[in-house]
């Protein structure tokens, strides 16, 4: 399996776990959506890293 596929799969699993078990998109807190944004930022950094490493 390519590293890019692994990164995408881990990202989607994290989003699903965050949505189902931690209720990240609830309107009661400002911290939870920031955690989701940080997870997405890590995803984008991982994509850039994997892409540069594969070149």
How far apart (Å, rounded) are the C-alpha atoms in residues 36 and 4?
20
Domain edges within the chain: 3-54
pLDDT of residue 9: 93
SS3 1: coil
Q: Residue 24 burial (CB < 10 Å; 0-12/13-18/19+)?
A: buried
The predicted model scores a pTM of 0.77
Quick one: DSSP state of residue 22? S
pLDDT of residue 13: 92
Query: Is residue 22 within 8 Å of residue 32, measured between CB atoms?
Result: yes
Tell me: the pLDDT tens digits for 1-55? 888 899 999 999 988 888 888 777 676 777 777 888 898 999 999 999 998 887 7
SS3 29: coil
């Amino acid at each position: 399996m390519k590293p890019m596929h692994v990164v995408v799969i881990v990202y989607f699993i994290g989003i699903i776990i965050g949505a189902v078990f931690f209720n990240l998109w609830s309107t009661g807190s400002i911290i939870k959506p920031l955690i989701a944004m940080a997870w997405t930022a890590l995803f984008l950094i991982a994509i850039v890293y994997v892409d540069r490493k594969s070149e």
